[in-house]
Structure 1
Amino acid sequence: MKIAHISDTHITSGEAYKGYAFDLIANEVNTLDYDMVIHTGDVTNEGLREEYERASYELKKIQKPLIVVPGNHDARNVGYELFEKYIGPLNGVYEKDDLVIIWVDSTIPDLSDGRIGGYKFHWLKERLEEYSHKKFKIVASHHHLVPLPDTGRERNVLFNAGDVLDLLLKHDVNLYICGHKHVPNIYKVEGLVVANAGCTSCRKTRKGDVNSYNIIKIKEDGKISVSIKRVTGDITRREFKIKKQRIFVPKKRRLLRIVQMSESNVSDRVYFRERVLKNAIKAINEKYKPDLVIHCGDMVDVGTERYYAKAYEFWEKIKPEKIIVPGHNDITYLGYDLFKEYFGEPKILEMENFAFIPIISAQYETPIGVVGRIGQKILRKHLQEHEEKFRAVIMHHNIIPIPKSREIGFLEDGGNVLKILTDEKANLVLTGHGGNTLGIKVEETPIINAGSISWELHRNPFGNSFNLIDIYEDMIAAFEIQATWGSRKLLGIWKIKTKVPWA
């Protein structure tokens, strides 16, 4: 099957709409061998009746079966009701042979942000269970799931993107398609391909880009290809093979063991579980015996002298080599100076064939993080300088949305940072924001988020925990360790595919 994926037409009577670009793409779709078209939202510019009337006329130019998903612009001015009148259902299912396409409305009236929550989340879950027997499963919505490059300040990802991503992965969805940010982009997240379409006929492109659409080909041999085709004729194509989940067993020697922790939030408040932290440190020293302990921020609850002095006592009890980056709590009040006084400036740590690269993302008095344009250049430079080594990047703020956490763009330039990490093929990324654990691979880069080790106000059903990461010559294995009882849960096992100079 061959699908044309268009998005963000922004049909209106004003200058925002480029009718000639829409006609060009519509004619191409009609002429070539496409089986169907999926439009992932922002059909109109303001959700007004006259726009819907024109959009209904314009969409009839497409002479192939058409699925249309509502976007945030379509939901403006109670436009979601007009959408059903002029365009079609807000949510639905299309099935043919071994393929199912499920589309779901992610809009929130009069907001640019998105959400697939409550009843819609349960509806999506039920549909995925109902059609679990299908070989090819596509979910279409308007809002993006993971941060995108070249979008300015990262925002408007689904509020519950972490939960939706987790749901799609658990149900073996092959492809998630969306629009929204006017940036064409393709990522592979574990076994899921995430394809963002650029804008088909809107003047608002990013970085001087041109209008475009995506070409999706689903092949009988289990391969999916996604191509970005611009109106200039340029095509960027990627092909993916659907693979069954497998458990790898390490066959080669272990090179390094890491303990990763975050959000100890040392204080004298009732939410700080001092005994849990003590027990965890004892187990780390005596049972797990790692080569390196990494703390991904929020060592203290607030940046006061008393809390830092107390935290330093705990930190000194950890016997192995240690490295820490500040979290947003650490640099409140006097914390910016106190962190350097007690723990020093984070510096690159080299251990034989490993390079651990700390990146500062915390800002004063806000949970919102930023690496910044200069910081991004520094990150890329460090990754390139140490390309002959195993490169682990350490930061506080999460890059991939965390389950059971409301995602509001905590790393405001997360899209550009993620692009650098995947472009440079970082071997491992360790983060620690959001109060819950996550292990996920984007392209060739495993990204692991630590939950809270000793703070009661977390979002982790497993409880307070830390992560145990074993790096072998042929794979990386990550486990979550319950900080009180020591029970273990697998976060991920990722095979190292290429021959690595650092092994």
Structure 2
Amino acid sequence: MLIAHISDTHITNEVAFKAYAFDLIVNEINTRPFDLVIHTGDVTNNGLREEYEHASYLLKKIEKPLIVAPGNHDARNVGYELFERYIGPLFGVYEFKDGVIIWVDSTIPDLSDGRIGGYKFRWLKEKLEEYSNKKIKIAVAHHHLVPLPDTGRERNVLYNAGDVLDLLLSHDVTLYMCGHKHVPNVYRVEDLVVANAGCTSCRKTRKGDVNSYNIVKISEKGVKVVIRRVTGEEKGKEHVPIRPKIFVPRGRRIFRIVHLSESNVSDRKYFRKNVIENVVKAINEKYKPDLVIHCGDVVEKGIERFFDMAIDYYESIKSEKLVIPGHNDYTYLGPELFREYFGEPEIIELNDFVFIPLISAQYETPIGVVGRIGQKMLANLLEEYSEKFRVVVLHHNLVPIPRAKEIGYLEDAGNVLKIITDANTELVLTGHGGNSHAVKVESTPLVNAGSVSWELHRNPFGNSFNIVDIYEDMIAVFEIQATWGSRKLLGIWKIKGEVPW
């Protein structure tokens, strides 16, 4: 199946709309053997009636079957009602021989942010279950699921992106198609291909880019996405499904990490003192890791009394430790106290492994940022240590996690994620959001730790920490329930290519 993926036409009578780019791309689509065209929203610029009338006329130039999902600009000025009148349904299902396309409205009236929540989430889940027998399942919405590079401040994803991503992965969805940020990009998240289209005919491109659309080919081999710009430049990625998906570690275990976060040590009732004591005992007597990594929010507030309490717990851990500050640690006098009690996080080299700390916490805010200097430093370090097994450690999660509002993102998550995946980084450990989660983006596993001892968490498994076991040929991550010691598998991934050992 061959699909033309267009987005963000922003049709209007204003200068924002580039009519010649629209006509050029439509003419290309009409002369190529596409089976279908999918438009992932922002058909209009302001959701006004005259824009919808103009858009309805222009879209008729496309001589192929057309599916259109609404975008946030289409929902302005109660434009979602006009969308149904002039363009088509806000939700829908399109069946073809071996597959199904399910599109859903992700917009929130008069906001740039998106959400597939409540009844919309239930509807999407029901449709994925109804068509679970289909080999190819394609989900379509306007807002992106994974942070994008070169978008400035990374904020306008789905509020519940983690839940939606988890839903798509658990239902073996082949492809998620979206637009919104005017940046073409393709990521593989486990076996799910996430394809963002750039803007087809809007003047607002990023970093001097030009208008573009995606060419998506779906076959028995997998999914190939080609980004085609109006200049004729093409850049493609092909993704073949992982088989088999269940692995058995071979050879000896090379390294073990205990990965925890959000201990939030304090004298408040939400801090579970007995749980952290139990975890420290288990680390010393049962798991005996090569390294313990705490990914932030060591204390509940950045005051001396809480740091005094926290240091007693962590000094009693016998293994070597790397402690990263979280946003709670950087409240009040926290920045100074953290350095006084735990020191400035430094790179740790242990045999063939290197652990690169990345400070994302900012003073008095849960929002994180690495910054342009930090990004350059990270890129240089990943290149410098390219012969080693590189583990990047930071507080804020780089991909959305289930049951958590998107508020925890890094402002520059898109650029940081791109640097990490472009370098084929072996592992990333994070710890924000109060829920454990693990997913592989491109060739890099990203593992988030839940809260180890704070009652206000989002994890149905309860307080927990992770065990990361690295073998000669794979990485296995288990979540350990902090009270009872029961475990469940979070993720297991093969290590491809040459490894240091």
Q: Distance in 2 between matches of 1:126 and 1:340?
A: 50
1:58-77 alpha-carbon deviations (Å, 9 max, x no partner):
00000100000000000000
- SS at 1:24 equivalent: helix
Output the amino acid matched with 1:356. Answer: F
1:84-103 alpha-carbon deviations (Å, 9 max, x no partner):
00000000000011010000
Conserved 8 A contact 2:271-2:454: yes
1:84-483 alignment, distance < 5 Å: 84-219=84-219, 221-244=220-243, 246-408=245-407, 410-483=409-482
Q: Distance in 1 between matches of 2:108 and 2:244?
A: 35
- SS at 2:166 equivalent: helix
Q: Distance in 2 between matches of 1:358 and 1:236?
A: 33
- SS at 1:108 equivalent: coil
**Equivalence for 1:73:** 73
- SS at 2:284 equivalent: helix
How many percent of aligned residue pairs carry the same amino acid?
73
- Work out whether 1:6 is the aligned partner of 2:3: no
- SS at 2:187 equivalent: strand
Conserved 8 A contact 1:395-1:431: yes
Task: Please tell me the root mean square deviation across aligned C-alpha atoms, in Å.
Answer: 0.7
Output the amino acid matched with 2:206. Answer: R
Shift in Å, 1:222: 3.2
Shift in Å, 1:245: 5.5
TM-score normalised per structure 2: 0.99
| Count, aligned residues | 501
Shift in Å, 1:425: 1.0
- SS at 1:277 equivalent: helix
**Equivalence for 2:51:** 51
1:189-208 alpha-carbon deviations (Å, 9 max, x no partner):
00000000000000000000
Q: Distance in 2 between matches of 1:327 and 1:491?
A: 23
Shift in Å, 1:32: 1.0
TM-score normalised per structure 1: 0.99
Q: Distance in 2 between matches of 1:423 and 1:408?
A: 25
Q: Distance in 2 between matches of 1:191 and 1:173?
A: 8
Shift in Å, 1:244: 4.8
Relative distance call for 1:386 and 1:243 in structure 2 (3 A) is: closer
Q: Distance in 1 between matches of 2:349 and 2:197?
A: 40
Shift in Å, 1:247: 1.2
**Equivalence for 1:40:** 40
Output the amino acid matched with 2:296. Answer: G
1:393-417 alpha-carbon deviations (Å, 9 max, x no partner):
0000000101000113621000000
- SS at 1:11 equivalent: coil
Shift in Å, 1:112: 0.2
Conserved 8 A contact 1:7-1:199: yes
Q: Distance in 2 between matches of 1:381 and 1:129?
A: 45
Shift in Å, 1:253: 1.2
- SS at 2:268 equivalent: coil
Q: Distance in 2 between matches of 1:75 and 1:294?
A: 45
Relative distance call for 1:368 and 1:226 in structure 2 (3 A) is: same
Conserved 8 A contact 1:154-1:409: no
- SS at 1:61 equivalent: coil
Q: Distance in 2 between matches of 1:477 and 1:31?
A: 48
**Equivalence for 1:64:** 64
Output the amino acid matched with 1:105. Answer: D
Q: Distance in 1 between matches of 2:373 and 2:457?
A: 32
Output the amino acid matched with 2:260. Answer: M
Q: Distance in 1 between matches of 2:156 and 2:419?
A: 21
Shift in Å, 1:497: 1.4
- SS at 1:182 equivalent: coil
Output the amino acid matched with 1:70. Answer: P
1:261-293 alpha-carbon deviations (Å, 9 max, x no partner):
000000000000000000011011101111110
Q: Distance in 2 between matches of 1:378 and 1:32?
A: 44
Q: Which range moves more in the overlay, 243-252 or 453-462?
A: 243-252
Shift in Å, 1:294: 0.2
Q: Which runs of 5+ in 1 are unaligned?
A: none
1:4-53 alpha-carbon deviations (Å, 9 max, x no partner):
00000000000000001000011111111111100000000000000000
Q: Distance in 1 between matches of 2:13 and 2:460?
A: 51
Q: Which range moves more in the overlay, 205-214 or 222-231?
A: 222-231
1:322-381 alpha-carbon deviations (Å, 9 max, x no partner):
001100000111111100100000000000110000000000000000000000001111
Q: Distance in 2 between matches of 1:243 and 1:258?
A: 26
Conserved 8 A contact 1:156-1:408: no
Q: Distance in 2 between matches of 1:484 and 1:23?
A: 62
Conserved 8 A contact 2:366-2:408: no
Q: Which runs of 5+ in 2 are unaligned?
A: none
- SS at 1:258 equivalent: strand
Q: Distance in 2 between matches of 1:428 and 1:5?
A: 32
- SS at 1:463 equivalent: coil
Q: After TM superposition, where is structure 1 displaced by more than 6 Å over at least 4 residues in a row? A: none
Conserved 8 A contact 1:157-1:409: no
Shift in Å, 1:242: 2.8
